[in-house]
Amino acid sequence: MTEEQQAGLARFLDTAYGFLTTGYKEPARYNFDVCNVSPAAEVVPGPELGGSPQPCAGVGGRGDDAAVCRKMSGNSAPLMEESSVGNGTPLPAESAVENTMAELEEVAACVRECTLCGLCATRIKAVPGEGAQRPLALVVGEGPGADEDSSGRPFVGAAGRLLDQMLLSIGLDRNRNCFIANVIKCRPPGNRDPLPEETAACLPFFERQLAALRPPVILTVGKVPVKTLLGTDEGITRLRGNWKSYRGIPLLPTFHPSYLLRDESQKKFAWEDLKALCRRLAGIDPGYAAETAELRRARGI
Ligand code: SF4
């Protein structure tokens, strides 16, 4: 049975269960917009990523792929230990923020210059990622689509607007407290899934961002990022909502917003995932817990 068929069967069973227990109702609509946090700020590139491309210290120019970036070979800062996360992990000290900013700028510059895989030939703009330098959550998608390819920014089309709504519904905002990136930084033609060799070439950029940002939590959207990071072939319908771990960081898979745009009946499951993320973050960060206290009370989180 394909993943699509499994999802269809799950929807049928869910509808049938609801009919048997409470009678028929119109499916609930989850627009992720009934929240008590401040309204959506205008989403603009973070200052660390929105400026002119900086020269990459390790790039020897196009064609010099062996030296494409001096940190591609795994010299990134160590990630947090498994035992230290999810239990009130301290965020980076102020002094670490400048290092984070410099590292993110360098990764972005490397990505914009990168010719490590064939996707460099078809991209309009590479999409390094954007967001806060001290994120509560790192949101990870698959790769750029047409809108992202044109703009050089992640999640800016209809799916991006829904993602922003989803995040705002639990007090997260790419301008303030989360970072958004993809596992693949250039658009695969026709939005096809990235090839294994493309993923292998690109993943070190993501790893460097992860090491610099040191987020307390990772939220993956869609099947490709969770498949890439966890090496699983399990479908997203089964994976979503179940906490995993990547490099010692708690990771929660959920549906991709473009899937939710195609099938609104799945939004209630994504909302359950967002509530779980919200609860986890409230247990990690007292500031977030205080800021979202009213929101969580009002929404029963
Ligand atoms: Fe380089 Fe990644 Fe773009 Fe391939 S997808 S060219 S590895 S930045």
Predicted TM-score (pTM) of the model is 0.76
Asked whether 111 lines ligand 1 (CB < 6 A), one says yes
Asked whether 114 lines ligand 1 (CB < 6 A), one says yes
Domain boundaries, the chain: 9-299
Burial class of residue 21, CB neighbours in 10 A (0-12, 13-18, 19+): exposed
- Ligand 1 pocket test target in 122, 198, 206 with most atoms within 8 Å of CB: 198
Q: How far is the CA of 46 from the centre of ligand 1 (A)?
A: 21
Asked whether 178 lines ligand 1 (CB < 6 A), one says no
- One digit per residue, the tens of pLDDT, for the chain of length 301 reads 666 566 566 555 655 554 454 444 444 445 555 433 333 333 333 333 333 333 343 333 333 443 445 445 344 444 443 333 334 454 456 667 778 899 999 999 999 999 999 999 999 999 999 999 999 999 999 999 999 999 999 999 999 999 999 999 999 999 999 999 999 999 999 999 999 999 999 999 999 999 999 999 999 999 999 999 999 999 999 999 999 999 999 999 999 999 999 999 999 999 999 999 999 999 999 999 999 999 999 989 9
Q: What does CATH list as the number for 9-299?
A: 3.40.470.10
Provide the residue count of the chain. 301
